[in-house]
Amino acid sequence: MLTTLEFFGLPKGYIEGLGHHPDWGKEKKEDKAAQARKRAQAKNTKKSNKGTQNKIANLKKKAGLNVKEVEDVKPTYFDIGIFMKCFKKFTACNGEIRSQMRKQLLKDIDKTMSVFLDEFNEQSFKKCVDVFELAGRLVKEGYDLDPILIDNMGSILLCFGEIEHELRYGERVPE
């Protein structure tokens, strides 16, 4: 099941703890940046005696009020949110949606094949199309696709389509 959900966005090695908490720390970084801007603005507007500031800081430190937060550590608990997101995408792509996609693609095969034409409008078997871009290209050709299908067509083709694919084809050097 986990390897199947990898087609729908689940990180590889999820069960070993990889890919958990992808948004962790973003809010704190934004908050810290905002606080730094406020401090810089306050320094520009206020010119106060540094000696008094040091004395106040020492008093706060003695009182335990100036203690910095414990170092931010990424949570160690299991993040089920990512799993649920991928599982919802998987369950949305039920047999009915997949059948609808197959029928639409085969209904007008010439229109479907036009996605694979090169710049000279000739069919090229060397033409590579990213499976995740395929839905967008079909919509440009005039297909009226279900929104679930538009979001998940690449995942459906990789998982159920038995198509030949090469991961990260766009990063390879052309022949």
Residues 61-98 pLDDT 10s: 666 654 454 456 666 667 788 888 889 999 998 889 88
**Which tens digit of pLDDT belongs to each residue from 115-144?**
877 777 777 666 677 788 888 888 888 888
Domain assignment of residue 141, given as a range = 80-171
Same domain, 67 and 101: no
Same domain, 68 and 90: no
Same domain, 86 and 67: no
Residue 129 lies in a domain: yes
Instruction: Give the residue from 44, 59, 77 where a domain finishes.
Output: 77
Same domain, 94 and 153: yes
Q: Is the pLDDT of residue 169 over 50?
A: yes
Residue 69 lies in a domain: yes
Question: How many C-beta neighbours within 10 Å does residue 69 have?
Answer: 6
pLDDT for the residue 175: 53
Same domain, 151 and 87: yes
Same domain, 148 and 101: yes
- Between the ranges 14-28, 75-89, 148-162, where is the mean pLDDT highest? 148-162
Residue 32 lies in a domain: yes
Overall pTM > 0.85: no
Q: DSSP per residue over 2-58, as a string?
A: HHHHGGGTPPTTGGGTTT--TTTTHHHHHHHHHHHHHHHHHHHH----HHHHHHHHH
pLDDT for the residue 70: 44
Same domain, 73 and 86: no
Residue 8 lies in a domain: no
Look at the chain and report how many structural domains it folds into: 2
Residue 17 lies in a domain: no
**Which tens digit of pLDDT belongs to each residue from 96-106?**
988 988 888 88
Same domain, 27 and 84: no
Same domain, 165 and 91: yes
Q: Is 174 helix (H, G, I), strand (E, B) or coil?
A: coil
Same domain, 68 and 96: no
